[in-house]
Amino acid sequence: VDDLQELSRVESRAYQLDIHPVDFSSIVQTVAKRLAPQAESKRISLNLELPPDLAQILADEDRTIQILTNLTGNALQYTPEGGRVTISARQVSEEVQISIRDTGPGIPAEHLPHIFDRFYRVDKSRSRQAGGGSGIGLTISRALVEAHGGGLSAASAGEGQGSTFTIRLPAAGG
């Protein structure tokens, strides 16, 4: 119910964004620290690849943490024990591109166009009771990224090839 209420608020834009220049590297550090126990419990290597001169982003810090926590948490959930999740960032023109790559099962090509649809599941057997979520976390994340004037996309070379989720957010001063 909480997830549905959050989705309703996000889709109707019934929330305020406090957008200002934010140090993305510190957000990544916060999220990595928060998710470290989940990674450690599955012996997953959580790697950060952040350039020292990364531009600040124009964003709401709390909502950006929410987005990154959701995407990284999903990557950790679907990556098998002993795998790897990498968060990287780079500036491209007037935006910062953030990627969350995993060594999980990947996403079959026919599912990629639908994974941001509410309640869509690639693996229909993964109910909430079986360790899946509500099926709307990616929908919420995409709506929040778009509310920042950015974009969220997913890519996978196919089953067994891992997945990459890429967030594009405006760079501060850009």
Per residue in 17-74, pLDDT (tens digit) is 899 999 999 999 999 999 999 999 999 999 999 999 998 999 999 999 999 999 999 9
Structure-token pair, residue 116: 């941001």
pTM for this entry: 0.86
Alpha-helix residue ranges (DSSP H) falling in 18-173: 24-41, 61-78, 137-147
Per residue in 1-18, pLDDT (tens digit) is 465 566 555 665 656 789
